[in-house]
Amino acid sequence: MKKSILNLFVVAAVAFTGVSCEKFLTVEPIDKMSADTYFQNELELELYCNGLIQSYQPTADGLGYSDSWSDLFCSKTSSDYYRPGIWNSEKQGSWAVSNWRNIRRANILLTNMSRAQKNVSEETYNHYQGVARFWRAYFYYAKVQTFGDVPWIDHPLDVEDEVLYAGRDDREYVMHMVLEDLNFACQNLSGDSKYNGVINKWIALAFKSRVCLYEGTFRKYHSVNPSTNAAWNGQYESANDFLTECVNASEELINSGNFSLHADYYDLFHNTNLAASPETIWWSDYDGGELARMHELTWVVNSSTYDQQVSPTKLMMNHYLNADGTPITHEGKVLISEEFEGRDSRLKACVHHPGYMYTKTNGEQLLKNTNTTYTYNFYQNVKFSIEKEENYSKGKNDNDYPILRYGEVLINLAEAKAELNGGNLSKDDWDKTVGALRARAGVTNIYPDGAWDCGWLKAYYGNLSNVLTEIRRERTVELLGEGLREMDLYRWKLGNLIVDRQTNNQGWLGVYVPESARAGMEFNGATYTFEGEPKPGLGYNVTGSTADQNHSFSPEGFLTYNYKLEWSDKRYVRPIPQGVLNVNPNIKQNHGW
């Protein structure tokens, strides 16, 4: 096995924490237990693996914020990563000891669990080995998304390790090893109900579906490795190999018959018992009772002072089809009071709309108004938001969060098959995937044959086939706000859309307000005014918004929150932190940084 590993822990300790190399490398991951004597039986393997999931299972707050920095959401200042003149290797993190300890912990289990082999069945032993390899693949996938080329580490390092001062491994090798780990996990993890709620076969298959779709399409749409700006070397799996693996994993999970779509899309994201949902593969459990484990996804979309005041954009609104299965023809030039009529039901499930109610602290139910101090373009996100007044000022969500779900696997399968088949998908495959998702949303299922036409969407995504264009639409509206959009744009080589936003980098488009409505626009029982001409150097007064200086109207009449961003293709991978480069000269900076 190839082993080219950088001075990972020396760099992290010296450049970031000041902890000595020897001290860090001798720390054991289990409190008051030695890795030399642990891992003797099934209970000890189980406890260690439970510790991994407790430490590293994704949270609602972590995933729910992730789409904030995409083309579909407006925010107060965006991410520093996209703000002009800010990001560089000095500002970049994610290479400290804590960022690599997760891989070390997976390797500790893989290295030491052989002590239990004679005490457990082969099936049990392979299951826990599969858990460890799943986590290693999980952590490395995130590393590759962030930095591209990274060191592949397959054992716990110590101070005598000869590879401490080496460079990074090529991305293609690292992803080859990630695929090996995932294949082992999928083949050996148990799918028995005994392992519900922890890492199991179905989680591994769903995650493999996601990873292989990402890497396959990334290789297809990027002609070079962004870390080096050199052509892919082709020594390991090709783009089509990864796409085929995505199809295989997706079909195995689907054909198991263990999962199906949750009947109510809105309920899926406001549900306090996702364990009982037929769509849930992996979820983060929250409980407002004895455990008091809660998240903040209501607070962040209902506060003018907390977080980034993230809100949906007109571009996002325009993605949703009419309920009869046809694209909109009004281009969004319709009052918000009429915009939701006859549309895909997922639009109302995700965006504050006419008739939307909330519950006051005293139990009274009222129409919810739009507060323009935290909806800079007038639309408000409601996916995951629990509409209780008491939740608007603190983190008090107890609804569960789906980490991996059946709906994603369906759309993964559709995209991978279409990419493998020259942009086409059989009518049967379409009906089983995209068609099933649209049926749940109450949208008439129309197969996008040669007569289909949605010109703006095809132009937006790069003049793909009708099928691939519609698959991207479906992925957008089905998985909105679930933390995948930014990386979807990266793999499609469309990161520039985060900046362009159909305004040529002027800002985010919002609600349509024709001149006739600017003196008083009615919505949900309230009147909103956009007073007269904008003041020089400022903007329109949008009912007292603190961000008014950034507002204007586009020539078409869309309220625009003006905020310039910055993009270049070097941003498909982040820079290696300067502290790492200073300590280890064999580490090379990513291209362009």
Q: What is the pLDDT of residues 324-365, one digit of tens each?
A: 999 999 999 999 999 999 999 999 999 999 999 999 999 999
Q: Is 360 left (phi over 0), alpha (psi -120 to 50) or beta?
A: beta
Confirm if 559 and 530 have CB atoms less than 8 A apart. Answer: yes
The secondary structure element, H or E, covering residue 74 is: strand 73-74
Could you give the 3-state DSSP secondary structure of residue 137? helix
Q: How many helices (H) and strands (E) does the chain have?
A: 20, 13
The pLDDT tens digits of the residues spanning 145-183 come to 999 999 999 999 876 676 667 899 999 999 999 999 999
pLDDT value of residue 549: 62
Strand partners of residue 562? 507
pLDDT value of residue 471: 98
pLDDT value of residue 307: 86
pLDDT value of residue 539: 60
pLDDT value of residue 9: 38
Q: What is the dihedral of CA 398, 404, 410, 414, to 10 degrees?
A: 130
Confirm if 553 and 501 have CB atoms less than 8 A apart. Answer: no
Contacts of 535-543 with C-beta under 8 Å, sequence gap 24+, read: 542/372, 542/378, 543/372
- Tell me which DSSP letter residue 512 carries: E
pLDDT value of residue 289: 65
3-state percent helix, strand, coil for the chain, nearest multiple of 5: 40, 10, 50
CATH of domain 8-258+574-583: 1.25.40.390
Backbone angles phi, psi at 287, to 5 degrees: -150, 120
pLDDT value of residue 36: 74
Cα separation of 184 and 449, whole Å? Answer: 39
Environment class of 346 (CB within 10 Å of its CB; exposed 0-12, middle 13-18, buried 19+)? buried
Q: State how far Cα 79 lies from the chain centre.
A: 15
The pLDDT tens digits of the residues spanning 118-147 come to 999 999 999 999 999 999 999 999 999 999
Strand partners of residue 366? 358
Start-end of H helices in 148-170:
none
Domain(s) labelled CATH 1.25.40.390 in the chain stretch across 8-258+574-583
Q: What would the DSSP string read from start to end of 500-511?
A: HTTTTSSEEEEE
Backbone angles phi, psi at 523, to 5 degrees: -160, 120
Q: How many CA atoms lie within 13 A of 408 on its CB side?
A: 27
pLDDT value of residue 97: 83
Confirm if 423 and 465 have CB atoms less than 8 A apart. Answer: yes
Task: Locate 308 and state its tokens.
Answer: 């980034």
pLDDT value of residue 28: 45
- Tell me which DSSP letter residue 70 carries: S
The pLDDT tens digits of the residues spanning 447-500 come to 999 889 899 999 999 989 999 999 999 999 999 999 999 999 999 999 999 999
pLDDT value of residue 2: 38
Q: How many CA atoms lie within 13 A of 367 on its CB side?
A: 10
Could you say which residues of the chain have pLDDT below 50? Answer: 1-32, 538
Per-residue b or e along 496-515, where b marks 16 or more CB atoms closer than 10 Å to that residue's CB:
ebbbbbbbebbbbbbbbbee
